[in-house]
Amino acid sequence: MIDINLIRNNRSLVEENLKKKYQESKLPILDEIIELDKKVRELKLEGDNLRQQRNATSDEIGTLFKEKKIKEANTKKEEVKKINDRLVDVEKEENELSVSLKEKMMTIPNIIADDVPIGKDDSENVEEARFGDPVVPDYEIPYHSDIMASFNGLDKDAAGRVSGNGFYYLMGDIARLHSAVLAYARDFMIDKGFTYCIPPYMIHSDAVDGVMSFQEKENMMYKIEGEDLYLIGTSEHSMIAKFKDQILNESDLPITMTSYSPCFRKEVGAHGIEERGVYRIHQFEKQEMVVLCKKEDSETWYDKMWNYSVELFRSLDIPVRKLVCCSGDLADLKYRSCDIEAWSPRQKKYFEVCSCSNLTDAQARRLAIRVKLDNGDKEFVHTLNNTVIAPPRMLIAFLENNYNKDGSVNIPEVLRPYMGGKEVLVPTKR
């Protein structure tokens, strides 16, 4: 959520931002916000005046009673009653309009960075850099689910019978590999100075509204029937909401956390949810990195965070590239974002494995997360998040890039301690 002062005092900037994000349909909402804001401020002023008038009249009543002027005192009491009746109406209307104002404000996207490329959707994202050589071997690499099946490591048929499309069973060495990369990612981030966390996997609706747009909520989140609880789509949701309504000290920042959780996503409108592999699924596990910092430090942290992703994937012998997200591909709360994409030698193209975002103060405004600076001033913190590793999707890149002609899979040196010292996985069936 942006600062309403931007709409009051720099409306042209907000309008231009909506156009950059191809959300011109929201331009009329700005007029509605201006009108609501005016009414709310008028009601607030009237309420303040009524309270002052009530307090002054109450003081008069006390004086009149002391002076035995009972009739005059009772007349003033009637005036106080009328003031209170009007104040009830004013406060009710102010509260109702304030809620409506906030709801409309939450539909207006964050102001994006000046250097974000302009484009309608992810097809216009811009490659910025590559790390590692994208090799295509001289032998065929099978589809990732076939590689997993060769180790007796994947059963989607049984999962379909038990849970439906978009679910899976991982078994044996593939399941162990899944756990190993999560453990390695955890320790990788701990070594970077991040605090390891395991958060709640369900959160209240006000926490959901604090970390994402209404459209994202509708498309992603599973709601627990009959309760004010949602299954998280990523641990970022509960990790940022951990600080809801808090005032942090400047000395507390930056707060750097790496969190593990299962993730649950409806994937409304997603294509390929019924495909035989594990690229797009309803349930997965993820190691996340989350940072809360002062506003002047958020861009530095953004660069650190996406670089951590590159470093981690290169340590697993996986070539990657950085893809800068264009304006139309940015979720409403994001100031800037980039994807780290892994090389698929089978498909001869890259695909997303990490998403790093700077949301500036958009989430903090929604959740009322502020920092008290050493000089006594208070301001909203900036929040950032990035995927560390999200198996089983990232296992696609791992298996393809470490696959040998004989069907075996190499285990990079950094991962061997988490795999019982194994240097290679040998398929159980051909």
Q: Which of 381, 380, 390 has its CA nearest to residue 355?
A: 390
What pLDDT does residue 182 have?
98
Alpha carbon distance 414, 416 (integer Å): 6
pLDDT over threshold 60, residue 271 = no
Lowest average pLDDT, out of 11-25, 67-81, 130-144, goes to 67-81
One-character DSSP codes across 294-334: -GGGHHHHHHHHHHHHHHHHHHTT--EEEEEPPGGGS-TT-
What pLDDT does residue 217 have?
85
pLDDT over threshold 80, residue 177 = yes
Q: Which of 20, 44, 18, 22 has its CA nearest to residue 31?
A: 18
Task: List, for residues 200-249, the tens digit of each pLDDT value.
Answer: 999 999 999 999 887 888 888 999 999 999 999 999 999 999 999 999 99
Show the tokens assigned to 398.
């791992």
pLDDT over 70 for what percent of the chain? 98
What pLDDT does residue 267 have?
74
Cis peptide before 254 (omega within 30 of 0): yes
Mean pLDDT of 180-191: 98
- State how far the alpha carbon of 386 is from the alpha carbons of 286, 290, 319, 403, in Å: 11, 7, 18, 27
What pLDDT does residue 275 have?
61
Under the banding of pLDDT at 50, 70 and 90, the label for residue 277 is confident
Long-range contacts of 218-225 (CB under 8 A, 24+ apart): 218/268, 219/266, 219/267, 219/268, 219/269, 220/265, 220/266, 220/267, 220/268, 221/265, 221/266, 222/264, 222/265, 222/266
Overall pTM > 0.85: yes
The average confidence (pLDDT) of the chain is 94
CB-facing half-sphere around the CA of 339: CA atoms within 13 A: 19
Residues 6+ apart with CB under 8 A from 96: none
Structure letter (DSSP) for residue 164: -
Alpha carbon distance 64, 71 (integer Å): 9
pLDDT over threshold 60, residue 274 = no
- Mind listing the domains of the chain with CATH numbers? 4-105 (1.10.287.40), 122-425 (3.30.930.10)
- What are the backbone dihedrals phi and psi of residue 372, each rounded to the nearest 5 degrees, phi first? -90, 115
pLDDT over threshold 90, residue 272 = no
Contact by Cβ (8 Å): 350, 344: yes
What pLDDT does residue 90 have?
96
